[in-house]
Amino acid sequence: MPGGSALSLGRDIAIDLGTANTLVYVKGEGIVLNEPSMAAVDNRTGQLVAVGAEAKRMWGRAPQNIRLVRPMKDGVIADFDVCEQMLRFFIQRVHTSRWSKPRMIVCVPSEVTGVERRAVQDAAEFAGARRPVYIIEEPMAAAIGAGLPVHLPSANLIVDIGGGTTEVAVISMGGIVTAHSARVAGDDLNEAIVEMFHKEFALDIGENTAESVKIQIVSAWPLAEELSADVGGRDASTGLPRTQLVTSEEVREALDGPVTMIVDAIKTTLERTPPELAADIIGHGLVLSGGGALLTGLAERVTNETGIHAYLAPEPLESVVLGCGLTLDNIDAMKGLTAQTSFD
């Protein structure tokens, strides 16, 4: 349920703190918030003036005294102060009790450093979480949220393509056997589209326009019937508004670089997989989750280039936070899947 209207008086919270979006799961209620990981900051006071969807609507339209900030980059915190304030805002929307702090679990990329992991814990604690804050790695959360049998002695391959990172992991017997975190994902696809319009058509477009193009006509694999669209932007030479007709083939060629990097991340992980587990993966196939997995034709391209059947998770956009939530619902039974910091 996007938007965050549901309220929690003392329940525990799971958070997918993503580069592009933040999702919040409340125990007993499910997903209660899904907002862009974005904040608008007043340069004169340093205070937040908008968060989430409201801040995103200001992108490219805000006055000079307002700075738009995406506090997460490549899956880790890039601006700690803004991230802490953004988290506090989101937590206060779903947790109304003034007398209790919620127990919390937050996901992180599989190859974050200890410093990056601690920054996430600190931000959550400063925003109002009870100590200790539990941490779960994104591919494990995505696998649980996708319904994979992570505790069985059989391998499952999960590929979670978010806004900042692509997380690939082989999971067996409740643990990650091998994993690879590639800093290429949905944001890189958008940037490639922006760059293509500038280089090929001398047309400058914004990130939101690039996102719309990606959703409407982009594919990672040839379509039975190719598409086209008129895209509006600013002429790089004259500075005046104009539109440009673009085809799905043209954009697909522009995205070949980042898509190839995503496929290579999968191949790298497969090359590190023990032979017995590799045989399991051939039989089970691999699961694609995250917003980037919704790129049309990506499953077909991955299947073609790896020889392993690729298919979408039931709820690709929500797999990570659902996995966090299921772990939270069964925290005592699933503590082996999480890491936590203890305090004296």
Q: What is the mean pLDDT of residues 149-167?
A: 94
Across the range 124-144, mean pLDDT stands at 91
- Confidence band of 332 (pLDDT split at 50, 70, 90): low
> Do 251 and 335 belong together in one domain?
no
The upper half-sphere exposure of residue 312, i.e. CA atoms within 13 Å in the direction of its Cβ, equals: 16
Find out whether 111 and 81 touch, Cβ atoms under 8 Å: no
**CA–CA dist 39, 52 (Å, integer):** 6
Q: How many CA atoms lie within 13 A of 30 on its CB side?
A: 5
On whether both 293 and 325 belong to a single domain, the answer is no
If pLDDT is split at 50, 70 and 90, which confidence band does 334 have? low
Q: Same structural domain for residues 20 and 127?
A: yes
- pLDDT recorded at residue 60: 76
pLDDT > 90? residue 323: yes
Residue 335's pLDDT is 60
State which residues form the domain around 233. Answer: 186-256
CA distances 211 to 34, 45, 63, 169, 314, Å, are 17, 31, 23, 27, 22
CATH of residue 263: 3.30.420.40
Claim to verify: residue 304 and residue 177 sit in the same structural domain = yes
Residue 7: its pLDDT value, please?
42
149 within 8 A of 255, measured Cβ to Cβ? no
Q: What is the pLDDT of residue 287?
A: 98
Residue 6 lies in a domain: no
The answer on pLDDT for 9 being more than 70 is no
| 214 lies in some domain | yes
Q: How confident is the model at residue 64 (pLDDT cuts 50, 70, 90)?
A: confident
Are residues 296 and 178 part of one domain?
yes
Return the pLDDT at 337. Answer: 62
Which of the pair, 322 or 94, is modelled with greater confidence? 322
